[in-house]
Amino acid sequence: MRGLLYFQPGFSIGTRDDGEPIFESFWGGQQARSTDGTRSKNPPSWLAQAARPPGSIHHPMMPQLSRKALRQHLRQTRRGLDAGVRAASEAAIVRAIARHPRLGRASHLAMYWPADGEVDLRPLVTLLARVRRQLYLPILSRDSRLRFAPWGARTRLAFNRFGIPEPRGYAARSLRRPSQLDAVLLPLVGFDEHGNRLGMGGGFYDRSFAFRLARRHWRKPLLIGVAFELQRCPSLPVATWDVPLDGIVTEHGLRLFQGI
């Protein structure tokens, strides 16, 4: 089975299991270039299908993948992202978040600690501290729901049962329930153009923000998924308990979904 491929102008990310070299795709001429610098006017059919703009990315194996298999595949692809591409993409994502007006009005903004190759947003701690915005990290409660504790450059952290750092030493009154936040930056494994999110499978975010499913007009907190473009999927299976995103931010910018 071929690896998941995502192409954008100037470079590509992905591998083929049959040992063929990684290709670069260019939207204008729809040509392909191998790693040895040669160009092909007639790229393989699978490459031609994959070499589309981000809004129409195609993964031919998607219909055959279960939710579990898709999650495993996307996680592996994300972890294998080139270090230089990762650094440039993360810098672009951080800038997009810091400059977006809707997030600029969020006095209480929740983030996450990166794990398993997730987008690293920690540079935001320094950037947003200058504008006196309160940041939060999630804390996993015994009821498998999330609470959010204040987080800053000097916050003491300790590992939870999954090995992910959480704030420690905070005052109990400083904890915030999900409904008390203005905006949340959510990690994810995959996303689609309809605002559906594929998480790690624990259901912690869906349980914590389930109250959003009962609301039609009042969208608080604003839920923004954070991902690399290679995590984009044509469509995702949706369960009744899945809480949709209000927007997505990748290296291509922050976009709110229709009606937000």
Helices (H), 100-256: 101-104, 123-129, 204-208
Q: For residue 250, what are the β-bridge partners?
A: 253
pLDDT given for residue 128 in this prediction = 84
Handedness of CA 223, 224, 230, 234 (dihedral sign): positive
Whether the per-residue pLDDT at 212 is higher than 80: the answer is: yes
Lowest mean pLDDT across 50-59, 72-81, 101-110, 154-163: 50-59
Phi, psi of 192 (to 5 degrees): -130, 180
Matching residue, tokens 């922050």: 254
pLDDT tier, 78 (very low <50, low <70, confident <90, very high otherwise): very high
> In a 3-state reduction of DSSP, which class is residue 178?
helix
Helices (H), the chain: 45-50, 67-79, 83-99, 101-104, 123-129, 204-208
Q: Are 220 and 182 in contact (CB under 8 A)?
A: yes
Task: List all residues 6 or more positions away from 35 whose beta carbon is below 8 Å from its beta carbon.
Answer: 21, 22
Matching residue, tokens 């000097």: 154
Q: Are 181 and 110 in contact (CB under 8 A)?
A: yes
Whether the per-residue pLDDT at 11 is higher than 60: the answer is: no
Average pLDDT, the chain: 79
Q: Are strands 146-151 and 134-140 parallel, antiparallel or unpaired?
A: antiparallel
Q: Are 207 and 169 in contact (CB under 8 A)?
A: no
pLDDT tier, 44 (very low <50, low <70, confident <90, very high otherwise): very low
Average the pLDDT over 208-224 and give the result: 88
Q: Are 54 and 252 in contact (CB under 8 A)?
A: yes
Matching residue, tokens 């589309």: 52
Measured distance CA(51)–CA(46) in Å, rounded:
9
What the chain holds in terms of domains, given with CATH numbers, is: 6-60 (no CATH), 83-256 (3.40.50.10420)
- Nearest of 188, 64, 192, 52 to residue 118 by alpha carbon: 188
Whether the per-residue pLDDT at 35 is higher than 90: the answer is: no
Whether the per-residue pLDDT at 31 is higher than 90: the answer is: no
Q: In 10 A of CB 41, how many CB atoms? A: 8
To which H or E segment does residue 256 belong?
A: strand 253-256
